[in-house]
């Protein structure tokens, strides 16, 4: 199982939001220092979300992303505000290994198709959901499309992996939505990364048992509820 420590960026700082709300933010510090910290503890992947771009549609973080990628010295995946092939190209040039397409996957699937053709196996789709329905634009709008159906549409376009986030759980440390995650794994046959609500080691193991290829760890890491080195050992992750 791959564990992805998460760093959410807002105004150049590492932050966490509760339920995706812009007015419910906790600042945790310098994102470059955080990237180094997670690498030193054994992480091989880093999950980064550009919240400014997710909310406003444009990024101010390209230079910061370059610094984070250089500091981490592993594989960095990035989501937030990726709505065109040009958006993706800019991030790839900044040292990002995998780009995560969110809202555009639902609204402009041709972007996903073109990106998969240009960067095979380097495009992931992030599906955020409320009550099993896909949510877009920084989680502030819920669509009428089932998250599972959206994933199946992305599979036809060449996407192999989905990051599934239950918005009602994100940042709340109340445990992931295991029934919905299990449904996504079972009905799509895709690689599913569980995200949102992880509060303890048991939650991670539950996601692993549900068939997830990985788990994204946010607030639980920052507040000390999960020890990354221990989690890597217990899930079969590789430590360096």
Residues marked active site are found at: 8, 128
Residues ≥6 apart with Cβ < 8 Å to 52: 9, 10, 11, 58, 59, 60, 61, 80, 81
Residues ≥6 apart with Cβ < 8 Å to 228: 3, 5, 38, 41, 42, 43, 217, 221
Assigned token pair, 213: 């290829």
Counting every residue written for the chain, the total comes to: 240
**How many C-beta atoms lie closer than 10 Å to residue 121's C-beta?**
11
How far apart are alpha carbons 231 and 226 in whole angstroms? 7
Q: Which helix (H) or strand (E) holds 93?
A: helix 85-93
Give me Rg for the CA atoms of the chain.
16
CB 41 within 8 A of CB 3: no
């Amino acid at each position: 199982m791959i564990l992805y420590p998460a760093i959410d960026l807002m105004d150049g700082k590492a932050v966490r939001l509760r339920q995706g709300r812009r007015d419910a933010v906790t600042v945790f510090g310098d994102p470059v220092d955080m990237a180094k910290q997670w690498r030193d503890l054994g992480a091989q992947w880093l999950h980064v979300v550009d919240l400014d771009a997710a909310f406003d549609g444009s990024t101010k973080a390209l230079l910061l992303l370059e610094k984070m990628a250089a500091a981490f010295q592993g594989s960095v995946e990035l989501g937030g505000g990726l709505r065109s092939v040009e958006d993706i190209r800019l991030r790839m040039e900044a040292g990002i290994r995998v780009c995560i397409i969110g809202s555009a996957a639902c609204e402009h699937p041709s972007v996903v198709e073109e990106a998969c053709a240009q960067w095979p196996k380097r495009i992931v789709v992030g599906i955020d959901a409320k009550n099993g329905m896909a949510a877009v634009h920084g989680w502030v709008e819920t669509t009428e499309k089932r998250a599972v159906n959206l994933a199946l549409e992305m599979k036809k376009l060449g996407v192999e992996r989905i990051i599934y986030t239950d918005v009602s759980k994100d940042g709340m440390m109340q445990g992931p939505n295991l029934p919905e995650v299990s449904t996504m794994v079972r009905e799509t046959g895709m690689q599913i990364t569980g995200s949102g609500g992880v509060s303890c080691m048991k939650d991670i193991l539950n996601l692993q048992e549900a068939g997830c290829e990985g788990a994204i760890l946010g607030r639980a890491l920052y507040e000390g509820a999960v020890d990354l080195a221990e989690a890597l050992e217990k899930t079969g992750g590789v430590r360096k």
